[in-house]
Chain A
Amino acid sequence: MTVESTAARKPRRSSTGSGKRASAKKPAPQKSTEPELIQLLTPEGKRVKDAKNAVYDAYVADITAEELRDLYRDMVLTRRFDAEATALQRQGELGLWASLLGQEAAQIGSGRATRDDDYVFPTYREHGVAWCRGVDPTNLLGMFRGVNNGGWDPNSNNFHLYTIVIGSQTLHATGYAMGVAKDGADSAVIAYFGDGASSQGDVAESFTFSAVYNAPVVFFCQNNQWAISEPTEKQTRVPLYQRAQGYGFPGVRVDGNDVLAVLAVTKWALERARTGEGPALIEAFTYRMGAHTTSDDPTKYRNDDERVAWEAKDPILRLRAYLETEGHADEGFFAELEDESEALGKRVREVVRAMPDPDLMAIFENVYADGHALVDEERAQFAAYQASFADAPAAGEVK
């Protein structure tokens, strides 16, 4: 059977629109290999000092050796936690995992720039930011194991629940920030999202609202170059940080693999927000070293050369080189951290394996805060149905 076209019009030019006109007019994809960005530590671990960086550099001018070691420690432990979670998924203990491998500096640098009273709105990959906020990493695993849809109290660490629907949380962050401003508080809000998410209407609307209401919110876009299989070029024709200008607030691109630069730039943006200067957009230019999630197969859409090039910019090796050349850390520090890392891995394994399945009645818990007659009725029916199994004669028995 053939399928007849019922299209109303007859094609005038090429039937598919793939004629000369379309291809000739297509803008060349933006080159993203060596972008302009704020960098304070080179990939080799050398400290950069120049005029372009000066305004941000001031925010880390008095950073101590201990603080630098702490940043290093955060990145190493976060990477270890992430590796453990990936392994647990492979062993069938987690249904899914979204790895942050390669994005440690973007997350630790920005997370450590926040104050306790700031509020963080993550997407679903912000394990390093959660770490900085003091969320027990094992709490992040519940939703990936399938025992809950969140797993922590957002208010205890001012760290909101993971948001899976792309971009939604940027509006929540903006609204929260509008509330902060109404309260006259000097806290700030930070919203995380990806380069793919930058295409969502919600993100555009959050830019509009935050600008119009001068909300104290920092938009932190981790441009890890990919939205599942789609490169950033499928989301935008201009560098993402430049979008901010059109809304009337500043945008900065920072080397997302440079923890020091990320810390500095985020501190700058949060301070602006706190002092009433309104929103800012940070584009942390980084790379997703692994798959999008454990269900993804990146060999379908990208080659290894790219990854190899980014391996040379590894955020952890870079800070280590700097710590060593400056004499800020000795062998003992690294050895101790290795032990701590092992212990964290072990604890994560143990906690996850011991995580119980939720009670069946959890289906009906917390559907409403005030209760609801229909839920009560269905809960009772469900309980009676389940109970009928407990009392039922075992298979093969005669009723």
Chain B
Amino acid sequence: MAVQKLPIAKAINESLRTALENDPKVLIMGEDVGKLGGVFRVTDGLQKDFGEERVIDTPLAESGIVGTAIGLALRGYRPVVEIQFDGFVFPAYDQIVTQLAKMHARALGKIKMPVVIRIPYGGGIGAVEHHSESPETLFAHVAGLKVVSPSNSADAYWMMQQAIQSDDPVIFFEPKRRYWDKGEVDKEAIPGPLHKATVAREGTDLTLAAYGPMVKVCLEAAAAAEEEGKSLEVVDLRSMSPIDFDSVQASVEKTRRLVVVHEAPVFLGTGAEIAARITERCFYHLEAPVLRVGGYHAPYPPARLEEEYLPGLDRVLDAVDRSLAY
């Protein structure tokens, strides 16, 4: 059966399984990824079927995990490492930024760094601090890294395949609060390119651009707006480095309005980059300034405040109204 309905976590699990089956050089590494199957069970059952040499429970040391993955990649392996939560990637940040990202350039292109770093990210699950952050911009800003985030099961399955096949390091942000959302996966489909944005919903009055966990919020906002007679287009960016500006531009040329939505702080965020580029590209098409909805310049708040902090339907629709009022 080619088409299956799978939750995002399971789609990633099957994608990893496929990669392990197809390529003996693929390795899974991380804390608790073995017997436990990861704290979100994304690697469930893989160690049982592929053994401890392929699915490796590592010491509790993120710098060590990424640093050794770099070495394994130098030796011809294709490590897929799991960082348990967004806030715990920083012990590895040095290795990622100073080593992983730059290795190919330093070697004048002679070596490749096919390393995937999986990071469950974002809020909305009522966790304690360091478990809800959206640090994607910190990685997108670094040349040499590719940064992606699927928003649905089919993308989760296919983008993981493509990330693993990439000879560049890919930071793969998994929207943890969507792990249990189900969607159709066609394992025989021919997927589009990893870094191409998709139109998740067509519309004519305004474009909402989002990725990962916020795509669902934007689709809900578009559905709500429809009841008020507004037609919103939703673009799922899928990739934050590179960003598919062409697709965003095409949508904005049609709708003439753009609101970018992400959980990460607005200040110097992905939305800022998109606003600047789209303003340059679409200056004469725009009917309103590009607006952004996202997190504040404040630490991610304790769980009881996260619903206020995270962009929800109301905040997205409020920005839509403001844009349409121009």
Footprint of B on A, CB under 8 Å?
1-9, 11, 15-18, 22, 95-96, 142-149, 164-166, 196-197, 199-202, 227-230, 234-235, 295-297, 300-301, 357-358, 360, 362-364, 367, 372, 374-375, 378, 382, 385
- Asked if B37 CB lies within 8 Å of chain A CBs, one says yes
Which residues of chain B in 136-158 are interfacial with respect to chain A, using CB atoms and an 8 Å cutoff? none
Q: Which of A146, A166, A235 contacts B128 (CB 8 A)?
A: A146
- A202→B94 CA distance, assembly (Å): 13
Q: Which of A6, A17, A145, A362 contacts B165 (CB 8 A)?
A: A6
Please tell me if the beta carbons of B304 and A363 are within 8 angstroms of each other in the complex: no
Contact A7 B54 (CB under 8 A): no
The residue on B at minimum CB distance from A300 is B36
B128 touches A96 (CB 8 A): yes
A363 to B31, CA, bound (A): 31
Partner of B188, one of A1, A295, A364: A1
Q: Which of B46-86 contact A (CB under 8 A)?
A: 51, 53-54, 57-61, 63-64, 75-78
Contact assessment for A22 and B296 in the assembled complex, using a CB-CB cutoff below 8 Å: no
16 contacts between A and B (CB under 8 A): A1-B188, A1-B190, A4-B23, A5-B22, A7-B114, A8-B76, A15-B24, A95-B128, A143-B129, A199-B61, A230-B57, A230-B59, A358-B304, A362-B301, A375-B296, A375-B297
Give 1 or 0 for each of B285-312: 1 = CB within 8 Å of chain A CB.
Answer: 0000000000011110111110011000
Bound together, the chains give a CA A385 to CA B296 distance in angstroms of 13
Is B161 a contact of A145 with CB atoms below 8 Å? no
Docked Cα-Cα span, A5 to B90, in Å, equals: 30
Interface size class for chain B?
A: 35 or more
* Shortest Cβ distance from B94 into A: residue: A201
Residues of B contacting A7 with CB < 8 Å? 23, 25, 76-78, 114
CB atoms of A11 and B24 under 8 A apart: yes
With both beta carbons as reference points, the residue of chain A lying nearest to B26 in the complex is identified as A5
Interface residues of B in 232-267 (CB under 8 A from A): 267
B192 within 8 A of A: no
- Complex contact A202–B129 (CB within 8 A): no
Give the shortest distance, in Å, between A167 (CB) and chain B (any CB): 8
A146-B303, A164-B128 as given contacts; A3 in contact with B77, CB under 8 Å: no
Across the interface, B304 reaches (CB within 8 A) one of A22, A146, A301, A378, namely A146
Q: Which residues of A contact B22 (CB under 8 A)?
A: 2-5
Contact B129 A197 (CB under 8 A): no
Which chain B residues lie closer than 8 Å to A96 at the CB level?
127-128
A residues in contact with B130, CB < 8 Å: 164-165
> Bound state CA distance, A362 and B306, in angstroms?
11
Check B303 against A363 for contact (C-beta < 8 Å): no
**Interface residues of A: mostly helix, strand, loop or mixed?**
loop
**Residue ranges of B at the interface with A (Cβ–Cβ < 8 Å):** 18-19, 22-25, 31-32, 34-37, 39, 51, 53-54, 57-61, 63-64, 75-78, 87-88, 90-91, 111-112, 114, 126-131, 161, 164-165, 167, 187-188, 190, 267, 296-299, 301-305, 308-309, 315, 318
Whether B129 and A149, one on each chain, are in contact in the complex, defined by CB atoms closer than 8 angstroms, is yes
| 6 other A-B residue contacts (CB within 8 Å) besides A199-B59, A300-B37, A363-B296 | A95-B127, A166-B88, A228-B32, A300-B35, A358-B305, A367-B297
B residues in contact with A142, CB < 8 Å: 302
> Are B36 and A229 neighbours in the complex by a CB distance under 8 Å?
yes
Evaluate whether A364 and B298 lie within 8 angstroms (CB atoms) in the complex, with A9-B76, A201-B91 already known.
yes
Choose among B51, B127, B128 the residue that contacts A18 (Cβ–Cβ < 8 A).
B51
A199:B302 contact, CB within 8 angstroms: no
Neighbouring A residues of B64 by C-beta, 8 Å: 199, 201
Known: A144-B128, A364-B298. A357 touches B304 (CB 8 A): yes
B90 shortest CB reach to chain A, Å: 7
Cβ of A165 and Cβ of B165 under 8 Å apart? no
Q: Quick one: closest B residue to A200, CB to CB?
A: B61
**B91 contacts A230, CB within 8 Å?**
no
B residues near A372, Cβ cutoff 8 Å: 297
Could you tell me the distance between the alpha carbons of A101 and B324 in the complex, rounded to whole angstroms?
57
Partner of A295 from the list B23, B39, B61 (CB cut-off 8 Å) is B39
When A7-B76, A18-B53 are in contact, do A228 and B299 touch as well, CB less than 8 Å? no
- Are B59's CB and A235's CB within 8 A? yes
- Tell me whether B54 and A16 are in contact (CB under 8 A): yes
Residue of A with least CB distance to B187: A1
Q: Which 10 pairs of residues, A with B, have the shortest CB-CB distance?
A: A146-B303, A229-B36, A199-B59, A15-B24, A9-B76, A18-B53, A196-B60, A5-B23, A7-B25, A3-B22
- In the complex, what residues of B have CB within 8 A of residue A4's CB? 22-23, 165
Question: In the complex, are the beta carbons of B25 and A5 less than 8 A apart?
Answer: yes
Residue from A164, A202, A300, A357 in contact with B91 in the complex, judged by beta carbons closer than 8 Å: A202
Q: Contact between B87 and A165 (Cβ–Cβ < 8 Å)?
A: yes
Q: Which residues of A contact B296 (CB under 8 A)?
A: 363-364, 375, 378, 382
Q: Looking at the assembled complex, report how far the CB atom of A12 sits from the nearest CB atom of chain B, in whole angstroms.
A: 10
Whole-angstrom CA separation of A96 from B303 in the bound complex: 11
Min CB–CB distance B98 → chain A (angstroms): 14
Closest chain-A Cβ to B290's Cβ sits at a distance in Å of: 17
Task: Return chain A residues, CB-CB under 8 Å to B35.
Answer: 229, 300-301
